[in-house]
Structure formats: C-alpha cells, structure tokens
Amino acid sequence: MTAVDQLIAEIKALLSTGAISYNSASEGSDTYEGYIFALIVSTASRHGATVRYEDVHGAKANKLVFRTSPGQLYSTTQSYTHAVVEFDGAPPLEVHLGVRVQGTSGVLHECDVLVLSADEAALSRVQRMAPRGTHCILVVECKYYAASSLEIGLARNFEGLRADVRTQREIFVSNTRSASIVRYLDARNREFEGNVLPKSPQVGYLEAEIRRTFKSYLSKHTPSAII
C-alpha cells in the first residue's frame, strides 16, 4: 500500500465514509491536508460534537469532495465539502480545506485547514467575501514532503500568516521533521507538530491540541461543558 493509499484509508476510517474524492493518483500533499481535516472532525465527534457534511449550497454531501488547490470559501465552481460541527450550547463551527482568509492587513492568505464560526462562513457565502481571520478559531498549516527535507522558508511563511490572520490558534503540522524549523518555531513560541502520520504517537499529540482548541471555544460559550 502506498503512502497516499494509507492516508486515504485513514481518512475514510476517521470520517466513517467510503465515498471521497481522493484516489490512488491523488497528490500526497492534498491527501495529507484531507487527513488533518479528518483528524479535526473525528476529534470533535469523539468529544461530543455532532457532525454533518454539506456542500457550498448547504445541501447534504453524500460524496465528500475536497479541494486540491486554494480557492474561495463561497466558490460554486464545484460542490466542495465542508464539515459542520456542533457542540451542545455553542454556536456551530465549520471545517474547510484550502480556502482563503482575509488578514488584518486586507491581504488574502491560503489556509490549508480552517475552523471558523458557521456565522462567518455564512456571511462569506452571502457577501462573496473571504472570511476574516479574526473570526476563525484554528488554522493548520500542513506540509507533506515525500522526498525532500522541510526548508526554513516554510516556517517563515507560517509566521507571516500567523501574524496577519490573527486566528485564535495556528498550528504547523508536517509528516517529517526539520531541526531548523523546530528551532525557529520554538524560539517564537509557536505551536508545531512534526512526524504526524497514521498510527504515529504524534497523532495523539496533535489531537490533544485540537481538543484544547475546542475546549477554549466552549469555555467562551458554554463553560459547563466537559470535553
């Protein structure tokens, strides 16, 4: 089984679905983003959230169609899938792949995986504008490199995104590890997790950070919630 096939199998298991748009010919970087999307959704579900899948029109998605290039959240060129996550007593959230977000400077930034309020997502679709980073609760930068090492420029780009988008939390995630990136991000007290692959111990560490994000979100809306 190839690395891509392993990621696809894990996505299907985490999302409890067999119908997804990835296949054996998909790029590793695309399926890796889908894998992180699946980890976020499954973590929410495991901690009590109800989850459903919708297309850009709000219709139920029977086959999950994932982006393989950055685009606008409100785009209707294809029926891209997002997840709607609802915890009791808190406003719903949406989880998206590969959408652009507006930074405080007005510049648009691509977010590999994004969690934001459903209200902000709805506003984006109605007004056909990129969602505002300040209304997002989590951005995950995903880096999948099969044959080469991670370059320091990737961490610098992440730092620039983090500084302008200003979400509640940003995490740098990769399938491998780079000493220079570790030193760079750690010196700036940024959240990162390397070697995140199916069945690795690092998956559990990332899921703990995702849970912490949802826990912080719930503390603002339903402090009595226990997850």
Domain assignment present for residue 227? The answer is no
Looking up residue 62, the CATH number of its domain turns out to be 3.40.1350.10
The two three-digit tokens of residue 143, written as one number: 């880096």
> How many domains are contained in the chain?
1
Q: How confident is the model at residue 148 (pLDDT cuts 50, 70, 90)?
A: low
DSSP state of 72: -
Where is 138: in which H helix or E strand? strand 136-143
* Full residue range of the structural domain in which residue 130 is found: 3-221
Region 58-65 average pLDDT:
93
Give me the amino acid identity at 180: S
Closest CA relative to residue 124, chosen from 66, 75, 169: 75
Q: Is the pLDDT of residue 215 over 80?
A: yes
- Say what the pLDDT of residue 18 is: 75
The pLDDT tens digits of the residues spanning 115-124 come to 999 999 999 9
DSSP letter string, 127-187: HT-PPBGGGEEEEEEEE--SSSPPPHHHHHHHHHHHHHH--S-EEEEESS--HHHHHHHHH
Domain assignment present for residue 98? The answer is yes
Region 13-23 average pLDDT:
91
- Say what the pLDDT of residue 147 is: 64
Residue for token pair 């982006």: 67
- Say what the pLDDT of residue 206 is: 98
Q: How confident is the model at residue 223 (pLDDT cuts 50, 70, 90)?
A: confident
